[in-house]
Chain A
């Protein structure tokens, strides 16, 4: 009996250690260092991140963490692992902890009204980063800092229209959408669709969700290639899905970048490498480095200053030539 109870104690401790380890890894713990936030008069920012689904997201997280350190802001960071309920839980936690400012990148567009109202009632200003929400009541958040996804889709579409303006026959396009219901997926699809409407020859023949992942992009592209004998253009809503699709295209005996023109959004390092190597043809940038801008805004809203309701991050586009120049300096 005695050895039995010892074993139980040991295992209970081990379970605890394992759970704690998991929590640290999930990024649920405070990265600010000192846990007694009431002691210092540092500005406390609660930030709920979507997850770590891509290199882009990781660069975004790093930028925010670094900028917080430089700006002397105490950051409470939470990783929602792609789940809205986790994010709502995190925001409620921030409200309970009475942080000064809450910022978050919404996983999906809808369903935020209740929790945002709770933050407003607690008089905690909210900043949206990177992705928008579809709440009708704009007073629920101070500002939205992030890329204009519609514009990214439009830039990608306009480039294609310019490339194919000499085309006489139909140009078949397949589209790899992001996570169904997410703002970047909805908006990039919209912007791209609007831009290519300028040329009736450009036609989207198939469009499916690849969930922003390489495995998803690959699996969907494999079926696109089999179902559509003539694919001229691939538009992927992010680099990772495009990278996954590359393998499927090669396996089908086609040459990516030549037989199939590939357009993506984001410009992460692996994507830029593919562009410089001639496998991609065009990338509309979506910059994740919004940390410094976010810290400025957090200070301003805390001080009660008026901020514009919509602030765009600075972005550009890349072709194969400009990618070669930019690649050595790419941080993410």
Chain B
């Protein structure tokens, strides 16, 4: 027994072990409920199945959560990402709907550039409020969270703009190498951010600013510039997520697009093991967190859990995830069950009670 425990220790000690285990348990529970859950087939030239749906639908959340990870690593928070999704989607769809030829690539590219530009300006606005003026991040970004919905509705004039543009649709529903284009874009963004932060000193600088902004400044880091930058990056990620959300249904809904995605993104970051206090961050953890959240949503539909209880179900799972991840909770659990193997069996038991 002891040797097994010792052998498992490096694995269970890994930062991403517990979130990954939760994801596996969730998929297992689904497979037990419906054996075809993981089935993937080829339909009209690309892969089709529930796992593919989860990947495609989690793409916007992964993007938003990536930006959020950097913001949170500096000790901040960005509540405006949901509204930014709505604004960027609305501007892009409006431009396409008013264009003479909605299917021409140049129209779509102009629309994307226009919306992306506006999002960068709004991200810079957040950055200035936080880094230059020194307003608390939660307040500074709350301004755009509330006002941004209004801006999005102003752009769409309160209507749902329906568009008919194949190139734009591809952002949300297209396929490349039989995989959804959306998830490839999200993963490319994740790799890009990872390369910038982990292959250069940038990540370390972000972490040091989050750990102690003043000490970093005294050590020669331009803290403000870094803080400003992460809000712009977060806005850029939100803009692309907004394109995906609107392209998925070929329509821009100023009211519903990206609604509450900021909360899901914060949750994804936390599940991924990044502390809300700032400092160390984990990009792979965030991606995993986003996948967990989307899998949870899909589970509700796949298991046909009644809408009245689905919120409670989600809450219970999220609480379970956060608990198994907390070292203090695990330590307490282990002490109580001294002599019993503290392997992965414990959280699994806990999780399996949930669907019932």
Contacts and interface: CB of A to CB of B under 8 A. Distances in A.
B348 interface: no
A52 interface: yes
Interface residues of A, number: 49
Contacts of A244: 249
Contact of A22 (B34, B133, B146, B158): B146
B154 A180 contact: no
A81 B57 CA distance: 24
A223 B254 CA distance: 25
B301 A220 contact: yes
Given A22-B148, A253-B43, A180 B308 contact: yes
A1 interface: no
B143 interface: yes
Contacts of A22: 146-151
A251 B147 contact: no
B132 interface: yes
Interface of B is mostly: helix
B143 A18 contact: yes
B311 to A, nearest CB: 8
A207 interface: yes
A26 B49 CA distance: 39
Contacts of B159: 52, 55, 58
Contact of B147 (A18, A81, A207): A18
B129 A26 contact: no
A209 interface: yes
Contacts of A19: 143, 147
Contacts of A21: 147, 150-151, 154
Nearest to B251: A214
Interface in A251-287: 251-253, 270
B48 A251 contact: yes
B151 A224 contact: no
B304 A227 contact: yes
A85 to B, nearest CB: 14
A177 B307 contact: yes
Contacts, number: 124
Contacts of A81: 149, 255
Contact of B153 (A7, A52, A181, A215): A52
B78 interface: no
Contact of B254 (A24, A52, A61, A220): A52
Interface string A16-40: 0011011111110000000000000
B302 A223 contact: yes
B154 A253 contact: no
B97 to A, nearest CB: 13
A244 B249 CA distance: 6
Contacts of A11: 128-129, 132-133
Contacts of A180: 307-308
B253 A214 contact: yes
A223 B53 contact: yes
B36 interface: yes
Interface string B32-43: 001010000001
A222 B150 contact: no
B43 A23 contact: no
Interface of A is mostly: helix
B256 A213 contact: yes
A208 B255 contact: no
B248 interface: yes
A281 to B, nearest CB: 21
Given A55-B160, A81-B255, A214-B249, A208 B301 contact: yes
Interface in A69-128: 81-82
A81 B173 CA distance: 28
A35 B300 CA distance: 48
Interface in A286-319: none
B154 A247 contact: no
A172 interface: no
Nearest to B57: A219
A53 interface: yes
A180 B314 CA distance: 15
Contacts of B50: 223, 226
B200 interface: no
A82 B150 contact: no
A223 B307 contact: no
Interface in B103-135: 125, 128-129, 132-133
A94 B34 CA distance: 52
Interface string A201-222: 0000011110101111011101
Given A207-B304, A208-B301, A61 B158 contact: yes
Contacts of A227: 34, 301-302, 304
B275 interface: no
B284 interface: no
B43 A53 contact: no
A226 B49 contact: yes
Interface in B231-277: 245, 248-251, 253-257
A27 B57 CA distance: 32
Contacts of B34: 227
Contacts of A219: 53, 57, 297-298, 301
A192 to B, nearest CB: 16
A15 B150 contact: no
Contacts of A42: none
Contacts of A54: 160
Contact of A26 (B44, B150, B308): B150
Closest 4 CB pairs of A and B: A22-B147, A25-B150, A22-B150, A223-B301
16 contacts: A7-B133, A11-B128, A19-B143, A19-B147, A21-B150, A22-B148, A26-B149, A26-B153, A52-B254, A209-B310, A214-B160, A215-B253, A216-B256, A219-B298, A224-B301, A270-B160
Given A55-B160, A81-B255, A227-B34, 20 more contacts: A7-B132, A18-B125, A25-B150, A27-B153, A53-B255, A54-B160, A55-B159, A82-B255, A209-B310, A213-B253, A215-B248, A215-B253, A219-B53, A223-B301, A226-B49, A226-B302, A252-B43, A252-B48, A253-B44, A270-B162
